[in-house]
Amino acid sequence: MILKNSLLAEFVLGFLGAGQLARMSALHAFNLGLQIAAFTDRDESEPLQFLTPISSSGSFDDSNSLTDFAKKCNLITLENEFIDSRILFEVRENSGVPIYPSPETFSLIEDKLVEKQTFEQAGIPVTPYMPVKSEVDLNTFGRKYGWPFMLKSSKGGYDGYGNLTAQNQDDAVNAFEKLGGHRGRDIIAEAFVDFTHELAVQVARNSHGHVVYPVCETIQENHICVAVKSPARLNPEYQRKIQELAIAATEAVNGKGIFAYEFFLTEQGEILLNESAPRPHNSGHYSIEGCITSQFENHIRAVLDLPLGETALRKPHAVMINLLGTHARPAKVEFWEEAVKQPDAHLHIYGKIQSKPGRKMGHYTLLGEDPDEIHRQAKQVTEKIKI
């Protein structure tokens, strides 16, 4: 157990989810001498499983399997949102093991509709949205906010999966059906926002207080983040306001852990919260080498209720490029040598067994003084990498 001023060597931190986010978090937990346990719902071996002998598999809908796993652990944390808060409440009740972020926190942001309602009620501006149940709802939203707009699965979407663009009413009806609206899945419509920047920020919070990271800019292609620039080149007033909103959002859910937020900055200077994540986030990967304390280390510190680490950048600018799968094949990294020759360059490969086009297989971070130059260099070397 964690005791005041002590940390026992047999303490086991369990992760629900065993992908790259859990793997990168676990590396910092190992630095504290903790043992790590992994629970996966995937058929293939996942990145975290290669680091620990304590591994279980099953369904995130099976509270019995999850409870058995929890009993092997002293504390549980989350890698993803592919679980129901009801299950988390049951697991905590039946195992007696703490879970952070807590089931109470998770229940306030576990799907896109609940998330927007939570932050809207806290006075945080969000992108215009509406739950849609029928073709009439689709037409109503299109007439009110204009075409095109986005249709999103309320639960479980990521990296463009679970999101479809509706250009017109026929598109909307087809997208609604593809996303499972006719089968009872909860679907929300979101207006397209006329933005100048897509931005992200992370907040770590526990009983010691909170720390907030620099606001970074994310570059998206086909609903997938392909690059991150930190800090975003914004008016300092916008930086400050976005950080304040992110802190307010974390307080609104009484969050304990690391939380990530995505914002739009509109041409009119309006700041809108788009989405949140109760876990480390792809937009914060640059912090591993770019910040004094990475998002992953602060995730571990936060859930263990340890003092939180400083978040300042180590160099004026950092660029992170996501390395996406280029082939449908067993993973193999080719033409990567040039990437690691750059000064203050850092290559991360996640250890996924199978590659497929568009799948996040790793990332590359480059630090430096000139943001345009390091972005140019990072793009140039990563474009050659094949996975």
For residue 157, the model assigns a pLDDT of 56
Alpha helix (H) ranges present in 123-279? 135-145, 169-178, 236-252
Cβ neighbourhood burial of 1 (10 Å; 0-12, 13-18, 19+): exposed
Domain edges within the chain: 2-100, 128-190, 195-382
Express each pLDDT in 132-186 by its tens digit. 999 899 999 999 999 999 999 887 655 556 789 999 999 999 999 999 988 888 9
Q: Under CATH, what is the fold of the domain 128-190?
A: Dna Ligase; domain 1 (3.30.1490)
At 237-280, the pLDDT tens digits run 999 999 999 999 999 999 999 999 999 999 999 999 999 999 99
Read off the pLDDT of residues 299-329 as tens digits, 9 standing for 90 and up. Answer: 999 999 999 999 999 999 999 999 999 999 9
pLDDT attached to residue 91 = 98
pLDDT at 272: 98
Look at residue 163 in the predicted model and tell me its pLDDT.
86
Model confidence pLDDT, tens digit, residues 361-383: 999 999 999 999 999 999 999 99
DSSP 292-357: SS-HHHHHHHHHTTPPPPP--BSSSEEEEEEEE--SSEE---BS-GGGGGSTTEEEEE---SEE-T
Q: What's the pLDDT at 16?
A: 98
CATH 3.40.50.150 fits 195-382, yes or no: no
Shared fold status for 2-100 and 128-190: no
Domain 2-100: which CATH number of 3.40.50.20, 3.40.50.10800, 2.20.25.570, 3.10.50.40: 3.40.50.20
pLDDT at residue 3 in the model: 54
SS3 73: coil
